[in-house]
Amino acid sequence: MRTTYEDLLRVARRDAVVAYNSAHADTTDLVAGWQATLTAARHHFRWLRLELSTSDFASADPLAAKGALAALARSIGAGGDLLASQSRSTRGAWDDENSLEAARAELAWIMDRAARASVARLKTAQTNDGLRRHLADVIAELKSVRKRGSPDIGDMRGLTTTLPHAAVDQPSQVILLAARWQAAHETTAPGGTLTRDLRSTTAQVRTVIGYGMHLAARLEQRGTTAELSRELAQALRLAGAATQHVARLWRTRLSDLNGRSEGPAESAFVELIGVMRAWMSDGERLTRPQDPLDDRRAGTVVRDVIDELMQSADRVAKVQQETVAWLVRRGHLFVPRVELAKRDPEFDRRPQVWRLRYPQPAWVRTNMVSCFDEVTAALAEVTDHLSAAARLARRIAGTSDLRRPYGPKHFVSPPVQPVPVVDPPVATRSPGGRYRPEYWDLIPEIYRDLDGLER
């Protein structure tokens, strides 16, 4: 499903053995192949907090490399690229010095095989004393690194790529699109988020929970995962009930804007849900939970899909919780005027002249956190249940030790000084009888304090 760091080290070790065994027969592009391997290893070692002191071989062109050493360079480079793709969510894997030493020792062993393969090729190739001395220096430098550490690389074993494998069928498409949906939310800065975007996110999470419950019901057929699947279904039921509460709060506690969300996450979700519906239906209706799975492979596929779905839903819910907290602290969200008056007695104590000249609006902006206690509590309940569901899904799929990176952190602490209460323009009455500010009047108010922020 996802490539792990342990997988790439295993592939690099295999390629090193292949290069070593073919050293006497293959003498093509020796210099270029070795330099490509050394360049990839130098990049890889830097992510393991080790700098090679041996310089590059000056007369080499790594771009011209072919053969076994070139394949080894690609494997080593892929491992370094995986380490480079990690984020703050997985940086704890570098805290264990024993794991770092073990990873360095493994990479040093791989490079030692490559260097000795190159030395063996020099015996049948034209004499190159400069390269021979260079290889001897590399082998000598790696000797001390290769002997240190243990074969267990600890938490680094489970470091994974940011996205799953390329899609080859509908289930793998669902897995890949779920990860992209998650990434779209993680890379959306909170500064430009509107209430309708928050409502859309809640609807997206509710929909994914519904499909997750359907998949969990199908997994209850399997004897080995039946109990965990029932626990997963219960966690999802609780999360679904919490999202219903959040959806009601978006309608009654905060002002809303007309129209549909146009953010990138909305488009990513529409694509995800289309492929998911096509995979889980027979053309007219969803497959019934009691329908038997075709074979063991089908059960494995369902476990992989629900693992990625729950991981993505959990992250999206947490991003929404962080976004709302950011917006509340900055005073960008609206509450009914009467609710703010209950908590701030000074709000309505204005001169009568002010009231006559500026009619009191139905909705006001505030950074008073107590006005949003119910919203934040409901969002926290959603994330708690989805986190439990994600843990259960990882246990069902056997991916409990994976450490998946997620998007960059956009949430910057706001200024310490309190944000003053800002009144929106005069509200108009909606067809349903509820006061609602006009869309074109609210836009300047919403974006007034966003100059300079990352959008």
Predicted confidence pLDDT, tens digits, the chain (455 residues):
789 999 999 999 999 999 888 866 555 678 888 888 999 999 999 999 888 888 887 665 666 667 888 899 999 999 999 998 888 888 888 888 888 889 999 999 999 999 998 888 876 555 567 788 888 889 999 988 886 656 788 889 999 988 888 888 889 999 999 999 999 999 888 887 888 899 999 999 999 999 999 999 888 766 677 889 999 999 999 999 999 999 999 887 787 666 777 788 999 999 999 999 999 887 777 777 666 666 677 788 889 999 999 999 999 999 999 999 999 998 888 888 778 777 876 666 655 544 555 556 778 888 888 889 999 999 999 999 999 999 999 999 999 889 988 876 544 444 444 444 444 444 444 444 443 333 333 333 333 333 333 33
State how far the Cα of 379 lies from the Cα of 361, in Å rounded to an integer.
Answer: 27
Say if residue 45 is exposed, middle or buried (CB neighbours under 10 Å; 0-12, 13-18, 19+). buried
User: Diameter of the chain by CA atoms?
Assistant: 100
Say if residue 431 is exposed, middle or buried (CB neighbours under 10 Å; 0-12, 13-18, 19+). exposed
The label of the residue with tokens 């849900």 reads: 273
Q: What does the H/E/C string look like for 253-270? A: CCCCCCCCCCCHHHHHHH
Residues in the chain: 455
pTM of the entire structure? 0.79
State how far the Cα of 415 lies from the Cα of 73, in Å rounded to an integer.
Answer: 48
